[in-house]
Structures are given as structure tokens and as C-alpha cells.
Amino acid sequence: MRPALAMPLGGFLVCAVAAIAAQPAPTMPPGITRTVLVDNRTVMMARLGMAPGAQEEVHTHPFSAVVVQIGDGDVDMRLGSAHTRGRRPHGFVDFIPRELPHAAGNAGTAPFDVVTIAIKPDRTPGGEAPASAAPEGITRTLGLDNAEARVTLVGFAVGAREPIHTHPFDLVVVQLTPGRVEVRLGDEVTMKEHAAGDVLFLPRDVPHAVSNIGGAPFEVLSVGIK
């Protein structure tokens, strides 16, 4: 099934991304695990595991975040004065504005993960660039474009290759469906299997390209950090 690309303003998780820069790691609520994936001057990315019944307390944080659902899940969401409860499909995306009260919980009977991308407020802002035409075998669907992030669902057919290119902003890539991926970043080339939830950080102005070198199509989320 094609992952959903739904991007309401709203919140997911928490304390998980509250460790910014030199701050100590947050204490996680019972049933929530946290693994830091990338922590640099632009973003802090973490993978959170939500056990059945795990629940956050309502909280805020001083940065905005993009949160990606990895695996279907039944989510209990409090956002400001609103309270919703329902099924979220794999690939669902939330944008959490800074200082917005929110809390999330696993209301189902199965665990799920999310990938959180905390956008550091003291980052050096990225430049703007118009979207280019998609190469053959690659599809792009814009899901979110605001003052801090642009999120695009990108599909790679078998054999699809990007030309080597650059962006004037830092870029995060979240793997949504498994695939064998070639990544060219500067002078380095890697070729390996990527699982759902794997992430890449591609620095601004560094030549790069992503290609599908496997036997099946895959999808990723491209998150440009402005």
C-alpha cells in the first residue's frame, strides 16, 4: 500500500526530541524508547518506539519538528484544546509548531515507531530553490511547504537515478519503504539496503544523488530544512 502523505499542523511526540544541542537527554515516559539517529547544527533526528498504552503528558518545546509515522498505528493525539483518536497509516506526517501544547499516545494493541526531526532554531537558515523537473522514473508529491520545512513524497521506480545536484538548504531523507539504494554524497558512494525508518542527512551545497539499484520500487520522504 502506498504510504499516506498527510500533513496537518499538529503534534506528535515530545520529550523525545527535547534534547537539543547540549541539553541532557530527556526522561522518556513508560513504554516509549528513544534512539538518536543524527544530531548536528541543523537537526536532531531520533527514532521513537511506542509500546501499546504508552502516553505522553501534554508539553511544549522551543523548536518545531516534523514527525513521520513508521508502521500503522492507533494514535491518541492532544493538540492545544483538540483531542483526536484514530488510525494513522505508515508514512503519515505531522508538523509540530514550536511552543504548541501537545501529547501523543499509542491507543492500539500493537507497537509502532516514529521518526522525529527536530529543527534547531539557532541553525543557519537555508536558501530557496525552485523545484526542478523530476527525472525519468521518479515521482514527487508535495505535502508540506512552510517557513521552516518542505516535505515531499518521492517515488523511485526500479533503475531510477537522480542526476548529481546540489541544494542551498540542508536535506533530510526518510526511507518509507525498503529498497536497495545508491547514495552519492560528494566523493563518497554507498550502496546498501535501506529499511523503513532509515534516515540520511545531506548537507547544503554538497553534490549528491540518490538512485534505486534494487529490484523493486521504493518511496522516501524528502524534508528540506529552510
Query: Whole-number mean pLDDT of the chain?
Result: 89
Say if residue 24 is in the same domain as residue 76: yes
What's CA 164's distance to the chain center, in Å? Answer: 23
Residue 33 C-beta-side C-alpha neighbours within 13 Å: 8
* Residues 38-52: tens digit of each pLDDT: 999 999 999 999 999
pLDDT of residue 79: 79
Provide the percentage of residues in the chain whose pLDDT is more than 90: 81
Residue 117 in grid coordinates: 526531526
Q: What is the pLDDT of residues 81-138, one digit of tens each?
A: 889 899 999 999 999 999 999 999 999 999 999 999 999 999 999 988 887 889 999 9
pLDDT reported for residue 81: 84
- pLDDT category at 22 given cuts 50, 70, 90 is very low
Domain limits at 197? Answer: 138-225
Distance from C-alpha of 192 to C-alpha of 181, rounded to nearest angstrom: 6
Same domain, 175 and 105: no
149 domain residue, yes or no: yes
pLDDT attached to residue 7: 47
What pTM value is reported for the model? 0.88
If asked whether residues 183 and 214 sit together in one domain, one would say yes
Residue 12 has pLDDT above 90, yes or no: no
Q: What is the CATH number of the domain that holds 193?
A: 2.60.120.10
- How many separate domains does the chain show? 2
Residue type, 74: D
Q: Are residues 155 and 83 in the same domain?
A: no
> What is the pLDDT confidence band of residue 25, given thresholds at 50, 70 and 90?
low
Give the pLDDT score at 77: 87
DSSP state of 170: E
197: which 3 cell numbers?
525508518
